[in-house]
Amino acid sequence: MKQTPTDLDQITATTLGHYNSVAEDFREGTRDHDVSQNIDALLRHIHSTAPFTILDFGCGPGRDLQTFTRMGHIAVGLDGAEKFAQMARADSGCEVWCQDFLKLDLPAERFDGIFANAVLFHVPLQELPRVLKQLHGTLKPDGVLFSSNPRGDNREGWNGSRYGAYHDLEAWRGLLTAAGFVELEHYYRPAGLPREQQPWLASVWRRVG
């Protein structure tokens, strides 16, 4: 069933309302998460000359903005939750945009890489092709997109007060390929565990065209 604009507005408002209400606890709970495997996966595929310009899409409170900055890169954050955006600006000193993922306003061909860690699964499936095209357009030619999502069986819906769409590898490949990306690599996280204990699907993609 096609979601109406009212449905989409409710999904956005409820999901962002959840994150705004738990922003401080979320920052403390995720401060020490080790995503170095994901950051390395993005950076090693970028062909540009460093420092790279990176969009941290769904930057949350700004943990990874700080990491990219310490590594010498130019990081810009984007999040839909106003409290996260405020925290990210304060904690990282980076430029941070507060934008609804379903109403993006992105500059053309600005970024060498996009780091979308644990975020794109919040985009409803019917809107995802458009959002992926927008991310494709804000990358420089040959730019690189990293994504990590909870893997699933291609169902979507509410998980408490957060909305999510949970893709398997083949469905995710189809979406990214249709948006103009070519796959560079994929892996499951956390590393070193049996597959049934690896809930996260990470993948890296290059902009074509």
The percent of residues above 90 in pLDDT, for the chain, comes to 93
Range in 33-37, 54-58, 131-135 with the lowest mean pLDDT? 33-37
Residue 32 has pLDDT above 90, yes or no: no
More confident residue, 134 or 33: 134
Report if pTM > 0.85.
yes
pLDDT for position 106? 98
Q: Where are the beta strands (DSSP E) in 92-171?
A: 95-98, 111-117, 139-150, 155-159, 162-166
At residue 28, does pLDDT exceed 90?
no
pLDDT band for 157, please (50, 70, 90 cuts).
very high
Q: What is the 3-state secondary structure (H, E, C) of 35-69?
A: CHHHHHHHHCCCCCCCCCEEEEECCCCCHHHHHHH
**What is the mean pLDDT of the segment spanning 7-34?**
92
Q: What does the pLDDT read at residue 19?
A: 96
DSSP state of 169: H
